[in-house]
Chains A and B, each alone.
Chain A
Amino acid sequence: GAGVSQTPSNKVTEKGKYVELRCDPISGHTALYWYRQSLGQGPEFLIYFQGTGAADDSGLPNDRFFAVRPEGSVSTLKIQRTERGDSAVYLCASSPRLAGVTDTQYFGPGTRLTVL
């Protein structure tokens, strides 16, 4: 079946601009996660959704970052007033987990964001 998809695959923007990154999870997966991977590093957790609600947003670095999942499927990560330090690969993952059960996370190919 189809895996996690992310669009765009690459995004180049200028400092101070607003960007939106989209994630389409595997159909039927209730949990959705965003991670950020900087060059030479492992992925770092940003936010986790269970259904439509953000269950854990403790990884969002500041209030310029926001994510939504209004219908419990597609999610959008929004970054305001982008800074050069935001340049990274943004990874999305989904999981079929039910509440209270840890399960495997399946990752998308990522969106490479470059802030000039």
Chain B
Amino acid sequence: AQSVTQPDIHITVSEGASLELRCNYSYGATPYLFWYVQSPGQGLQLLLKYFSGDTLVQGIKGFEAEFKRSQSSFNLRKPSVHWSDAAEYFCAVGANFGNEKLTFGTGTRLTIIP
């Protein structure tokens, strides 16, 4: 069965600082990987996804993520955060065939301080 671990429950960074949110997955084959962001009272918005090809993936709002098979990781990065990036971030894994469901991590809450 697939699973996702987001080791950091809460992260606080200063506005303008760089950000890295960790995600480790467990899956028997090459996974499909996603990062979603959820602002208070909002639905989940897709930031980026990895299906195949280039392991460095660019997303919206200046985010990127790198798939590292050897480490079973898909960490999310942003070089300079903005106050509007404060939200909950979820990493998710999906099978690359058959099984359609996404398995989500427990999320990382990001707080931005001035």
Mark A residues whose CB is within 8 Å of B. 3-4, 31, 33, 35, 40-45, 48, 50, 55-56, 58-59, 91, 93, 97, 100, 102, 104-110
- List B36-76 residues whose CB lies under 8 Å from chain A: 36, 41-46, 49, 51
Which of A48, A102, A104 is in CB contact (< 8 Å) with B46?
A104
Bound: A107/B106 CA distance, A: 17
Residue B84 CB within 8 A of the other chain: no
What size tier do the contact residues of chain B reach? 20 to 34
A108 and B43: CB pair below 8 A?
yes
Mark B residues whose CB is within 8 Å of A. 4, 32, 34, 36, 41-46, 49, 51, 90, 92, 94-97, 99-107
Which of B42, B46, B99, B107 is in CB contact (< 8 Å) with A56?
B99
Q: How far is the CB of B30 from chain A (nearest CB, A)?
A: 11
Chain B: which residue is nearest A6 at the CB level? B43
Chain B residues whose CB sits within 8 angstroms of the CB of A41 once the complex forms: 106-107
Bound: A106/B45 CA distance, A: 7
Which of A50, A97, A102, A109 is in CB contact (< 8 Å) with B43?
A109
Chain A: which residue is nearest B104 at the CB level? A42
Which of A56, A91, A106, A110 is in CB contact (< 8 Å) with B100?
A56
Bound: A48/B94 CA distance, A: 13
Q: A40-B106, A41-B106, A42-B90 are in contact. Are A48 and B100 (CB under 8 A)?
A: yes
B51 and A42: CB pair below 8 A?
no
B104 and A102: CB pair below 8 A?
no
- Known: A35-B102, A40-B106; 7 extra A-B contacts, CB below 8 A, are A41-B107, A45-B103, A48-B101, A50-B100, A58-B101, A106-B46, A108-B43
